[in-house]
């Protein structure tokens, strides 16, 4: 027998399983976190990928725009690496007065001044001018071209007007674009609302009524229309440089990539896959996945990241058990409200009218439940909400296992365990 202690809120839940049933235990590769952030960032900027060093790309007299992620990406710890970037620009002959930061809000709400400080640190806020790119401010965007798929690309006029543009951010697996970071700083980051909507709509199936687009998925770049359209728009802007962070599973810096906006980002994606992509020989009948505990299971919206990955490891006709405490089960309202629609078809139609990422996640969640029973071990007070989503609530792992065995209808089933399901992506290797 093998015992696992699965993260559940700020504690753990134990589960003991027969060795002979266990097909795989999916864990990421251990990574030594960066010890000296300043030195690591300097090394990336001075020995970049696919481009000359930053000091050779930027010339004195250039007006430089730094595109930076907003407060919803607090895990990036931008206050630790942005000052290093500013210092390197100063060393290249660019004074702080010639540098400005553009908050890549996309369609998120504007920052307060306090959120500027919380996101970028007091030093950055004190040194350079900060502008905000809010997708609904129509006057802030200028036309830069149209993609081969017909998306009219309108980007923030301050960024387009800069002499040099530097993209910053972080690279993670992304459930729609394949990977985050890189070109996503541009769309949705500094794009108009219409451009964002047009690009995000590629994540829906070309035929109304068929839900999500299967080509827009975690880790998938080739043939992903959302990603390919993003790359076309990024090429129109042609940023001068990129600096992206890669994190460990527990939120420390695993490393940095810098250089050409495409080549450096692609190298970063390969690093993310090497850390968090786990080769697995096959799919299991039953997948038991914890998001990894708090804060990854603070609410169901966050917990669906573990659901995405668990579904990749589960056979057709199998069962998924999710271990999610979700003390703030209904947060954010932008997500929970999508479960008020009576059918997935209605949910899809509403999403086609006004695409939102929470709405897409809710639609995908509904598709998963329609395909595979999803049992959620959660706090007792969450039962009604979980049932509303179409998933099956359970008060304990023992109850969940009993329900799963009844759904499978047999005892000779295989099990895959995912203790950090929000971070680890199973890469199924075909024989």
Q: Is the predicted pLDDT of residue 241 greater than 90, yes or no?
A: yes
Cα 279 vs. chain centroid, distance in angstroms? 20
Per-residue pLDDT at 72: 80
Q: Give me the DSSP letters along 124-146.
A: HHHHSEEEEEETT-GGGEEEEEE
Q: Is the predicted pLDDT of residue 425 greater than 90, yes or no?
A: yes
Using CA atoms, how far residue 423 sits from 52, 264, 289, 302, 308, in Å, is: 33, 22, 11, 11, 10
Per-residue pLDDT at 122: 97
Going by pLDDT thresholds of 50, 70 and 90, the confidence category of residue 342 is: confident
pLDDT in tens, 151-168: 999 999 999 999 999 999
Using CA atoms, how far residue 160 sits from 177, 281, 368, in Å, is: 23, 47, 40
What pTM was estimated for this model as a whole?
0.91
Residue 8 near residue 297, CB atoms below 8 Å: yes
pLDDT in tens, 226-236: 999 999 999 99
> Residue ranges per domain, the chain?
2-29+277-428, 37-247
Per-residue pLDDT at 295: 87
- Report the percent of the chain where pLDDT is more than 90: 92
User: Would you tell me how many other CB atoms lie within 10 Å of the CB of residue 282?
Assistant: 15
Residue 169 near residue 73, CB atoms below 8 Å: yes
pLDDT in tens, 371-411: 999 999 999 999 999 999 999 999 999 999 999 999 999 99
Going by pLDDT thresholds of 50, 70 and 90, the confidence category of residue 251 is: confident
Per-residue pLDDT at 430: 65
Look at residues 261, 262, 66 and name the one whose alpha carbon lies nearest to residue 159: 66
For the chain, what is the mean pLDDT? 95
> How large is the average pLDDT for residues 258-283?
96
Q: Is the predicted pLDDT of residue 431 greater than 80, yes or no?
A: no
The domain defined by 2-29+277-428 folds into 2-enoyl-CoA Hydratase; Chain A, domain 1 (3.90.226)
The domain defined by 37-247 folds into Rossmann fold (3.40.50)
Signed CA dihedral, 399, 402, 404, 407: sign only: negative
Distance from C-alpha of 217 to C-alpha of 360, rounded to nearest angstrom:
12
Q: Is the predicted pLDDT of residue 103 greater than 70, yes or no?
A: yes
């Amino acid at each position: 027998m093998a015992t696992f202690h699965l993260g559940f809120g700020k504690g753990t839940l134990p589960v003991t399983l027969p060795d002979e049933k266990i097909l795989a235990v999916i864990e990421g590769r251990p990574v030594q976190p960066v010890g000296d952030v300043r030195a690591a960032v300097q090394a990336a900027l001075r020995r970049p990928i696919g481009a000359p060093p930053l000091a050779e790309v930027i010339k004195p007299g250039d007006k430089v725009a730094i595109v930076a992620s907003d407060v919803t990406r607090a895990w990036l710890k931008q206050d630790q690496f942005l000052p290093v970037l500013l210092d390197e620009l100063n060393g290249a002959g660019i004074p702080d007065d010639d540098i400005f930061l553009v908050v890549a809000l996309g369609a998120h709400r504007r920052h307060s001044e306090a959120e500027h400080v919380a996101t970028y640190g007091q030093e950055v806020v004190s040194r350079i001018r900060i502008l905000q790119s809010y997708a609904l401010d129509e006057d802030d965007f200028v036309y830069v071209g149209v993609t081969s798929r017909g998306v009219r690309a309108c980007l923030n006029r301050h960024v387009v007007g800069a002499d040099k543009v530097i993209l910053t951010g972080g690279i993670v697996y992304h459930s729609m674009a394949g990977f985050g970071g890189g070109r996503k700083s541009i769309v949705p980051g500094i794009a108009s609302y219409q451009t964002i909507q047009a690009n995000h709509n590629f994540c829906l199936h070309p035929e109304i009524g068929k839900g999500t687009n299967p080509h827009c998925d975690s880790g998938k770049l080739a043939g992903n229309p959302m990603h390919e359209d993003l790359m076309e728009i990024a090429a129109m802007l042609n940023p001068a440089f990129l600096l992206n962070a890669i994190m460990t599973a527990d939120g420390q810096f695993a490393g940095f990539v810098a250089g050409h906006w495409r080549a450096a980002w692609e190298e970063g994606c390969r690093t993310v896959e090497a850390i968090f992509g786990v080769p697995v020989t096959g799919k299991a009948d039953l997948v038991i996945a914890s998001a990894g505990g708090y804060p990854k299971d603070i609410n169901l919206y966050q917990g669906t990241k573990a659901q995405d990955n668990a579904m990749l490891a589960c056979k057709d006709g199998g069962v998924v058990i999710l271990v999610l405490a979700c003390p703030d089960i209904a947060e954010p309202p932008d997500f929970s409200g999508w479960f008020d629609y009576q059918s997935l078809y209605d949910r899809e139609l509403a999403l086609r009218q006004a695409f939102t990422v929470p709405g897409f996640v809710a639609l995908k969640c509904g598709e998963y439940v329609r395909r595979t029973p999803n049992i959620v071990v959660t706090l007792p007070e969450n039962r009604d909400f979980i049932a509303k989503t179409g998933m099956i609530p359970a008060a304990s792992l023992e109850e969940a296992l009993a329900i799963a065995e009844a759904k499978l209808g047999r005892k000779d089933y295989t099990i895959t365990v995912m203790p950090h399901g929000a971070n680890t992506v199973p890469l199924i290797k075909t024989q």
